[in-house]
Amino acid sequence: MALPIIDFSPFLDPASTPAAKRTTALEIDRACRDVGFFYLSNHGIDAEITQNMLDNARRFFEKASPEEKSGLAIKDAGNGIGDSSRGFQRVEGGMKGTHEVGD
């Protein structure tokens, strides 16, 4: 299944109709339910901010110590301190760089 690419511009364009916004919202809903991920285009976030975020993420995953990463590990919801969804999680068995999109 391909990664859905969703155009977010209807939510940023003042001339956009409620129907166009609803269509976009339904695309996001479908992508979340069917795939779990999506690529959001025309979101209005400055490219420099996006690049800084990607650079920082890459630096963290390549350079942070195991201790630093474990300090940011996902907290289990069962113990009352987390929600089992946010934080660092080690992925086993993958190859470095396989998450990146090629040219």
The pLDDT of residue 22: 97
Residue 18 and residue 86: Cα distance in Å, rounded?
Answer: 32
In a domain, 78, yes or no: no
Kindly tell me if the per-residue pLDDT of 86 is higher than 70: no
Q: Is 5 helix (H, G, I), strand (E, B) or coil?
A: strand
Number of domains forming the structure of the chain: 1
In a domain, 15, yes or no: yes
The pLDDT of residue 97: 55
For 16, the domain range is: 5-65
pLDDT tens, 2-59? Answer: 899 999 999 999 999 999 999 999 999 999 999 988 999 999 999 999 999 999 989 9
Q: Where are the alpha helices (DSSP H) in the chain?
A: 18-34, 47-63, 66-71
In a domain, 84, yes or no: no
Kindly tell me if the per-residue pLDDT of 95 is higher than 50: yes
The span from the first CA to the last CA of the chain, in angstroms, equals 19
